[in-house]
Structure formats: structure tokens, C-alpha cells
């Protein structure tokens, strides 16, 4: 059960409510926003005390939440969450944002060149991995902090926010200094210490669905981040593992309407990893927009044949430019905006 307190509730009043929660044998979970404090009442059948809290003066309203994820649920918050990434980039509003760039940050020049291509085509967020979760330990593992510096530099020059993946708690801290969005990759969706660390810092988090995770598990992972006080969570569908082996993964477009129904959080889709084949990334990107994505994340490389990671699914610059125009048409058809 979620108890929302009146705007500007005083510390003393918050204490009274939390003591009441404890007194009834439940665990209070306090989340303080800028001016609203929310107290989660954790434990079985908390709903039976709904009226007790509704009767308290400091309480604005009390919500019963049936779902195992609470703060992530649509029951908890009816309106869509809009995640503010930077002064002019909001994810979850009318505008669909395209995050694009190489799979891995390979050099300073690559980030500057790709950033320019992405920006000129209408992309609004620059992506690039500094710590890469590669299937093989012999594959390129990323440039680490040096790479983050290259991306930060390119982002500043082009006035573009940036996104990069953290695989460990220490990397979360490092990334929060260099990037505007912290990505938690598919392979780490259920790394709970990592989720908690991402929740303890303030930068928005893009949480990718694990390749063998259900929608419910994705939302429970989002709940870990939210429960630490970071409400800027963006969900990301990037394809799941099925028996199908003609594509890299199976893009679960079904997840979009379902996630939107169950949660207020914005949803971004990743057609590059979803299908894994350059020739088909554009087709799937259009489908992503049509199905209701709030943004997409796409791999682009000026010379994919030389890419150190995910070359076969990276778009060439010209393909990306043409795709952006097509995506704009699809966005308009579904009542959204993409290009300015």
C-alpha cells in the first residue's frame, strides 16, 4: 500500500505516519521527492488499514497496489512519467528521442564523427559503451574511463546528452560523472546490487530487459532503482531469447503495450540488438515507433566493417539518415514528433 502525504509535510508529521506503520507491524519505505513524500507500507494485506491512514490529516491519499512492483506500477501513478535528461531532452513526452552511436567507444575520432552524423540526422542522444559485456573474454572489452572522456567531449561539443552502460557498482559512480543516462544492460538486469547503486545516484537510468526475463521481472528490477529514490527510470525492450535462430534475438513488441498498461515509466526500444541484422534494423525501428516507443536506441558506425563490437548490426551513416526521415513519418502517423 502506498501512502502519499500532503505537499510540504513536515518531518514530524512524516514520523507520526511511519511510527503508525511500524506499530501495525509493517515496514515503512519513505521516498522523498522535491515536495511530496510517499510512504510505502511493506508487508502482507496492508490494505486492511487503508482507512486508518486516510483518516490522518497529513495523508493526501492511500493507494492499494495489487502488483508486486509498487512504485513502478500504473496503480501508483496514473500519468506517464517524463524523464528529464537535459535542458531540452525529455523522454516520455510527445517527442520521440533517438539515441544513436557506436556499440563501443573505440576512439576520440569515432565519437566526434559519429556524434556529428547522429546529430545532423536528428538524433538527440549519443550512445557508446565504455565497459562492454562481451560474450567472449577475448573480444574488445571497451576503453573504460578514457572512452568516457571521449564521449563526454563529443557530447559537449555537439550539445548532446550521452548514454553508456555500467556493469559494476563502481562503474555506476564513474559513469554518473561523465554521462547523462546510465544504461543497465540485459545481462545485468537482475544484478540487484547494481540496480540499487543506480537508484542511489541521480542520473536517469535506462534499464534493459534481460534476454530471459519476463515483463514482470523487468518491472521488479525497475522497482529496485525506484525504491532507492531515483524515479528517473526508462524501460528498454531489446529482444528476448526464443527458439527462433534466424535473428539474433526476438524483438518482443508485445511488451510495449503491456508495459504501458502496467507502468507509468517511459519505454525505449532497441531494434539493433533486437534483430541483430543491419538490413532489417530500419524495418524494426519503424515498427518500434508504430507500437508506441517513447524513444529508440540504435547502433550507427561510420565504418561498420571495422567496428570492434556489433558491426553486423550497426547502420551506415546514409542508412541512418534515410531511416530518420522514415521514422519521422511513422511518428507523425501515430501522433508523435521526432524531427524538429
133 binds, among Mn ion, ligand PEP, none (CB under 5 to 8 A by kind): ligand PEP
Stretch that binds Mn ion, among 70-78, 204-212, 238-246, 310-318 (CB under 5 A): 310-318
Pick from 208, 278, 286, 301 the residue near ligand PEP by CB under 6 A. 208
Stretch that binds ligand PEP, among 12-20, 183-191, 259-267, 321-329 (CB under 6 A): 183-191
Min dist. Cβ of residue 238 to ligand PEP (A):
4
How far apart (Å, rounded) are the C-alpha atoms in residues 187 and 241? 12
276 binds, among Mn ion, ligand PEP, none (CB under 5 to 8 A by kind): none
Footprint (CB under 5 A) of Mn ion, residues 83-142: 103
- For residue 222, how many other CB atoms are within 10 A of its CB? 27
Min dist. Cβ of residue 164 to Mn ion (A):
12
* Cβ-based nearer residue to Mn ion, 106 or 310: 310
H-helix or E-strand containing 323? helix 317-333
How far apart (Å, rounded) are the C-alpha atoms in residues 293 and 336? 10
HEC-encoded secondary structure of 167-200: CCHHHHHHHHHHCCEEEECHHHCCCHHHHHHHHH
| Residues in contact with 160: Cβ distance below 8 Å, sequence separation at least 6, in sequence order | 115, 118, 119, 123, 124, 125, 126, 154
* Cβ-based nearer residue to ligand PEP, 42 or 316: 316
Min dist. Cβ of residue 313 to Mn ion (A):
7
Which one, of 93, 197, 106, 196, lies nearest residue 154 by Cα?
106
- For residue 105, how many other CB atoms are within 10 A of its CB? 31
Q: Is 312 one of the binding residues for ligand PEP (CB under 6 A)?
A: no
Pick from 161, 185, 199, 266 the residue near ligand PEP by CB under 6 A. 185
* Cβ-based nearer residue to Mn ion, 238 or 336: 238
Pick from 152, 237, 310, 328 the residue near Mn ion by CB under 5 A. 310
* Cβ-based nearer residue to Mn ion, 103 or 111: 103
Pick from 115, 129, 155, 295 the residue near ligand PEP by CB under 6 A. 129
* Cβ-based nearer residue to ligand PEP, 149 or 187: 187
Pick from 133, 192, 212, 254 the residue near ligand PEP by CB under 6 A. 133
Stretch that binds ligand PEP, among 112-120, 144-152, 179-187, 213-221 (CB under 6 A): 179-187
Closest-CB residue for ligand PEP? Answer: 185
Assess contact for 59 and 21: CB atoms under 8 A. no
* Cβ-based nearer residue to ligand PEP, 33 or 312: 312
Q: How many residues bind ligand PEP (CB under 6 A)?
A: 10
* Cβ-based nearer residue to ligand PEP, 95 or 208: 208
Looking at residue 251, the DSSP 8-state letter turns out to be -
Q: Is 273 one of the binding residues for ligand PEP (CB under 6 A)?
A: yes
How far apart (Å, rounded) are the C-alpha atoms in residues 330 and 340? 14
Looking at residue 304, the DSSP 8-state letter turns out to be G
HEC-encoded secondary structure of 96-117: CEEEEECCECCCHHHHHHHHHH
How far apart (Å, rounded) are the C-alpha atoms in residues 54 and 47? 11
Q: Is 195 left (phi over 0), alpha (psi -120 to 50) or beta?
A: alpha
For CA atoms 273, 197, 107, 125, the dihedral sign is positive
List of residues contacting Mn ion (CB under 5 A): 103, 310
List of residues contacting ligand PEP (CB under 6 A): 103, 129, 133, 185-187, 208, 238, 270, 273
Amino acid at each position: 500500500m502506498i501512502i502519499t502525504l500532503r505537499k510540504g509535510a513536515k518531518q514530524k508529521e512524516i514520523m507520526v505516519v511511519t511510527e503508525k506503520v511500524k506499530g501495525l507491524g509493517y515496514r515503512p519505505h519513505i521516498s522523498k521527492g522535491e515536495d511530496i513524500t510517499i510512504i510505502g507500507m511493506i508487508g502482507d494485506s496492508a490494505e486492511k488499514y487503508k482507512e486508518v491512514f486516510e483518516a490522518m490529516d497529513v495523508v493526501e491519499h492511500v493507494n492499494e497496489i495489487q502488483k508486486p512492483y509498487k512504485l513502478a506500477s500504473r496503480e501508483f501513478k496514473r500519468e506517464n512519467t517524463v524523464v528529464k535528461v537535459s535542458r531540452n531532452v525529455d523522454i516520455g513526452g510527445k517527442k520521440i528521442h533517438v539515441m544513436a552511436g557506436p556499440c563501443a567507444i573505440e576512439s576520440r575520432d569515432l565519437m566526434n564523427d559519429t556524434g556529428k552524423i547522429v546529430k545532423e540526422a536528428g538524433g538527440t542522444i549519443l550512445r557508446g559503451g565504455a565497459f562492454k559485456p562481451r560474450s567472449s573474454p577475448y573480444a574488445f572489452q571497451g576503453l573504460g574511463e578514457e572512452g568516457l572522456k571521449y564521449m563526454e567531449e563529443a557530447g559537449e561539443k555537439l550539445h548532446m546528452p550521452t548514454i553508456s552502460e555500467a556493469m559494476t557498482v563502481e562503474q555506476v559512480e564513474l559513469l554518473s560523472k561523465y554521462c547523462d543516462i546510465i544504461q543497465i544492460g540485459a545481462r545485468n538486469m537482475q544484478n540487484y546490487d547494481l540496480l540499487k547503486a543506480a537508484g542511489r545516484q541521480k542520473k536517469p537510468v535506462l534499464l534493459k530487459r534481460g534476454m530471459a526475463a519476463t515483463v514482470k521481472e523487468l518491472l521488479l528490477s525497475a522497482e529496485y532503482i525506484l525504491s532507492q529514490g531515483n524515479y528517473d527510470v526508462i524501460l528498454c525492450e531489446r529482444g528476448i531469447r526464443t527458439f527462433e535462430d534466424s535473428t539474433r534475438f526476438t524483438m518482443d513488441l508485445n511488451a510495449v503495450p503491456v508495459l504501458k498498461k502496467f507502468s507509468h515509466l517511459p519505454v525505449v526500444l532497441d531494434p539493433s540488438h533486437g534483430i541483430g541484422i543491419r538490413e532489417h534494423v530500419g524495418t524494426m525501428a519503424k515498427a518500434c515507433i508504430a507500437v508506441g516507443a517513447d524513444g529508440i536506441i540504435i547502433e550507427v558506425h561510420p565504418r561498420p566493417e571495422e567496428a570492434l563490437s556489433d558491426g553486423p548490426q550497426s547502420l551506415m551513416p546514409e542508412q541512418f539518415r534515410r531511416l530518420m526521415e522514415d521514422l519521422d513519418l511513422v511518428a507523425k502517423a501515430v501522433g508523435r514528433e521526432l524531427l524538429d
